[in-house]
Amino acid sequence: MKKIAPSILSADFSKLAAEVAEVEQAGADYLHIDVMDGHFVPNVTFGPNVIQSLRPCTRLPLDVHLMMTNPENYIEAFAKAGADIISVHAETCPHLHRVLQLIHTSGARAGVVLNPATPVSALEYVMDSTDLILIMTVNPGFGGQTFIPGMIDKIRQTRDLIANQSRPIEIEVDGGINGETAKSCADAGADVFVAGSFIFGKKDRAQAVQSLRSALS
């Protein structure tokens, strides 16, 4: 079944626990948490302490998207704080294979994120250490941007690469996801759909989750 991962980037931070409870009750599958460092991307968001505070508030797997330089210095801290999935950008990791191993030894599932400009070939020699591939469908840094249609072909190419693997690997898409773009990504082979503004920008979040669910079914 396709998975929905609301991104708290667009939530009301003054009542984060209630926001999370709302999307959990509405049937979300993962909780997507965007960590931005002000270096790799211009924006600054959360550190491990926010994840630690959220951990007892939800049963949802915490899907942590690290948009930061030198992520290897923070993997253990995020894992200890309660991250279930930790995804690093290929662009920030000259020693990507080693970082993925570090994520595994810290007890989390390991994801690799590709910026729109990064080719699928960046994944070729790390497939044995990857549990999730996150295809950015906008340039990272901000919520509420417009989906880049050229990424559909990239999802197809990633699906082809996974076809040769014996282990299950999920394809996640992130940026500009709504009912229509989610459906196109699903048809191309995506499994997990991150949505920030589409869900938290609506007054009725449950209805937003359900409309994404029905677009995917």
Q: Does 34 bind Co ion (CB under 5 A)?
A: yes
Q: Minimum distance between the CB of residue 166 and ligand 5RP, rounded to whole angstroms?
A: 30
> How many other C-beta atoms are found inside a 10 Å radius of the C-beta of residue 187?
11
Residues 178-207 close enough to bind ligand 5RP by CB under 6 A: 194-198
SS3 13: helix
Beta bridge partners of 34: 65
Of the residues 145, 157, 210, 211, which one makes contact with ligand 5RP according to CB under 6 A: 145
Of the residues 62, 138, 171, 215, which one makes contact with ligand 5RP according to CB under 6 A: 138
Whether the CB-CB separation of 136 and 115 falls below 8 Å is answered with: yes
The H or E element that residue 199 is part of is helix 197-200
Of the residues 61, 71, 82, 143, which one makes contact with ligand 5RP according to CB under 6 A: 143
> How many other C-beta atoms are found inside a 10 Å radius of the C-beta of residue 119?
11
- If the CB atoms of residues 82 and 196 are measured against ligand 5RP, the closer one turns out to be 196
Whether the CB-CB separation of 158 and 135 falls below 8 Å is answered with: yes
SS3 156: helix
Q: Does 65 bind Co ion (CB under 5 A)?
A: yes
Residue 7, marked binder: yes
Q: Name the phi and psi angles at 67, rounded to 5.
A: -105, 75
Q: List residues binding Co ion (CB under 5 A).
A: 34, 65, 174
List active site positions. 34, 174
Q: List residues binding ligand 5RP (CB under 6 A).
A: 7, 9-10, 32, 34, 65, 138, 140-145, 174-177, 194-198
